[in-house]
């Protein structure tokens, strides 16, 4: 159960982020959150100098083996831009590493294969058996109210395991979420990958080792692919992970639109957000996972995206509030399909989430939950929303992606350009 020292939710007076953000926020005397304060650093930061520092860091890793670095990728988010930047700006030869989330959309599969083919990279992938994944998710849903924990556990450790096994010490990630969202560190700190951050934030304080023998099926052997390498193994290779958003001005929208033009990255409209570039490779991230986030904290992913766009000057606070209210009301499409696969009832699903509802946000009356807190500007018209979406101008591509046609299948196998 969530507990707070604060007695009420505070909303940032600039970006509308709430004080119960799971990554933790602080506020200055003007009511501006730490995420906005650190973002303002970006507008006055010497990015030319920072890029020079990055090039010095990576220079010592060039031509040390068959690959200069590891780049973790998926079928969406900023993978295209990261690989492009690593290859064509830093002049490195990366080994791409991808952990299979199992909830892939057909478009996400196609985009991942297009990424390695069009940018000409070697790739290593990892897939655990769906039956094993189901056992893990059933347990983390109960312990942490999360269907996403298993993917985060795998995707944050597999690149590190490959680095140790193949003796490729440098891992290059995109944006550090703690910096980008809540201002956990300044860019000048140049914070790097740590096991501690993975445990405390990505994994909600739950290490894979903690799941061993929680049930008869969850054995050490089953869970060992999610175990972090030992400190000795990391030190022997000198493994380090750096984040590009510490060295270059990070704007996900502009970066994606460059990749659309250069490599044919394909956007796709999602029902609960205006952002048609991120998370289009997962059936459940902007669906059931987004619902869980809302049921826990009283805000969903659209609030993260609105905060980003306000900070980048593409939305005002009032406009952002209208978009949040609009998109948080949109339907959850794939819930029943996931429940069927997990072999749990809808009532059981909500019972798992209930202990994690924030009591500062939610109150139960007559066996129903009511939201106690909100910001203003709840009223909007459909015309206002349409106008805002046109002005934001995220590209959309609404073709059916359930089938991969012959040409796409060839591309996936690397036989077509």
In-domain check, residue 367: no
**Helices 317-327 and 301-311, packing angle to 10 deg:** 160
CA pair distance 171, 190, nearest whole angstrom: 14
Low-confidence ranges of the chain (pLDDT < 70): 1-6, 377, 397-417
Give the list of residues 6+ apart from residue 341 with CB closer than 8 angstroms, or none: 134
Cβ atoms 104, 281 nearer than 8 A: yes
CA pair distance 202, 216, nearest whole angstrom: 26
Q: Residue 377: what pLDDT?
A: 66
Question: 309: exposed, middle or buried (C-beta count within 10 Å: 0-12, 13-18, 19+)?
Answer: buried
Question: 399: exposed, middle or buried (C-beta count within 10 Å: 0-12, 13-18, 19+)?
Answer: exposed
In-domain check, residue 167: yes
C-alpha separations of 151 from 103, 257, 284 in Å? 10, 27, 12
Helix, strand, coil shares, percent, the chain, to 5: 50, 10, 45
Phi and psi at 301, nearest 5°, equal: -60, -30
Q: Residue 347: what pLDDT?
A: 97
CA pair distance 31, 9, nearest whole angstrom: 12
Q: Residue 65: what pLDDT?
A: 83
Domain range for 182: 45-251
In-domain check, residue 269: no
How do residues 340-389 score in pLDDT, each as one tens digit?
999 999 999 999 999 999 999 999 999 999 998 777 767 899 999 999 99
Q: Residue 68: what pLDDT?
A: 98
| Neighbour-count burial for 240-263, b at 16+ CB within 10 Å, e otherwise | ebbbbbbbbebebbebbbebbeeb
In-domain check, residue 227: yes
What token pair was written down for 149?
């924990």
Q: Residue 396: what pLDDT?
A: 86
In-domain check, residue 130: yes
Strand arrangement of the beta sheet that strand 69-72 belongs to: 122-126, 94-99, 69-72, 170-173, 240-243
Q: Residue 412: what pLDDT?
A: 36
How do residues 280-327 score in pLDDT, each as one tens digit?
999 999 999 999 999 999 999 999 999 999 999 999 999 999 999 999
Number of separate domains in the chain: 1
Give the list of residues 6+ apart from residue 217 with CB closer than 8 angstroms, or none: 135
Q: Which residue is it, tokens 């590891």?
A: 70
For strands 362-365 and 368-371, give the pairing.
antiparallel
Cβ atoms 190, 136 nearer than 8 A: no
Cβ atoms 195, 156 nearer than 8 A: no
In-domain check, residue 83: yes
CA pair distance 176, 241, nearest whole angstrom: 11
- Report which of 169, 312, 176, 155 is spatially closest to residue 247, judged by C-alpha positions: 176
In-domain check, residue 80: yes
- CATH code of the domain containing 178: 3.40.50.620
> How many residues in total does the chain contain?
417
- Report which of 49, 30, 50, 27 is spatially closest to residue 38, judged by C-alpha positions: 27
In-domain check, residue 78: yes
What token pair was written down for 78?
């900023």
CA pair distance 283, 106, nearest whole angstrom: 9
């Amino acid at each position: 159960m969530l507990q707070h020292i604060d007695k009420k939710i505070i909303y940032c007076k600039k970006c509308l982020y709430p004080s119960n953000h799971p990554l933790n926020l602080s506020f200055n005397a003007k009511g501006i959150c730490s995420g906005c304060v650190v973002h303002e650093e970006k507008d006055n930061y010497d990015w030319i100098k920072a890029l020079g520092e990055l090039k010095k860091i990576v220079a010592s890793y060039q031509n040390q083996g068959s690959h200069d670095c590891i780049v973790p990728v998926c079928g969406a988010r900023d993978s295209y831009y990261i690989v492009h930047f690593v290859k064509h700006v830093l002049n490195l030869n990366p080994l791409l590493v991808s952990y299979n989330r199992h909830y892939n959309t057909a478009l996400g599969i196609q985009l991942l294969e297009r990424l390695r083919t069009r940018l000409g990279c070697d790739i290593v992938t990892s897939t655990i058996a769906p039956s094993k994944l189901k056992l893990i998710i059933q347990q983390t849903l109960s312990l942490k109210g999360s269907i996403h924990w298993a993917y985060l556990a795998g995707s944050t450790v597999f690149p590190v395991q490959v680095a140790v096994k193949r003796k490729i010490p440098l891992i290059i990630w995109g944006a550090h979420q703690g910096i980008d969202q809540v201002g956990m560190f300044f860019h000048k700190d140049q914070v790097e990958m740590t096991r501690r951050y993975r445990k405390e934030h990505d994994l909600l304080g739950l290490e894979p080792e903690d799941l061993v023998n929680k049930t008869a099926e969850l054995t050490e052997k089953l869970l060992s692919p999610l175990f972090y390498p030992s400190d000795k193994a990391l030190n022997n290779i000198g493994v380090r992970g750096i984040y590009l958003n510490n060295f270059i001005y990070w704007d996900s929208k502009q970066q994606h639109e460059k990749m659309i033009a250069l490599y044919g990255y394909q956007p796709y409209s999602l029902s609960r957000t205006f952002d048609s570039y991120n998370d289009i490779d997962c059936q459940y991230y902007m669906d059931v996972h987004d619902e869980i986030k809302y049921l826990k904290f009283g805000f969903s992913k659209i609030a993260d995206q609105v905060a980003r766009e306000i900070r980048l000057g593409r939305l005002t606070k009032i406009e952002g509030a209208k978009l949040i209210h609009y998109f948080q009301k949109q339907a959850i499409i794939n819930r029943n399909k996931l429940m069927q696969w997990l072999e749990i009832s809808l009532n059981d699903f909500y019972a798992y989430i209930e202990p994690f509802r924030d009591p500062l946000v939610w109150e139960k009356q007559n066996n129903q939950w009511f939201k106690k807190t909100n910001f203003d500007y709840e009223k909007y018209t459909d015309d206002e929303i349409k106008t805002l979406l046109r002005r934001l101008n995220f590209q959309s591509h609404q073709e059916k992606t359930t089938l991969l046609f012959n040409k796409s299948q060839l591309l996936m196998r690397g036989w077509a350009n």
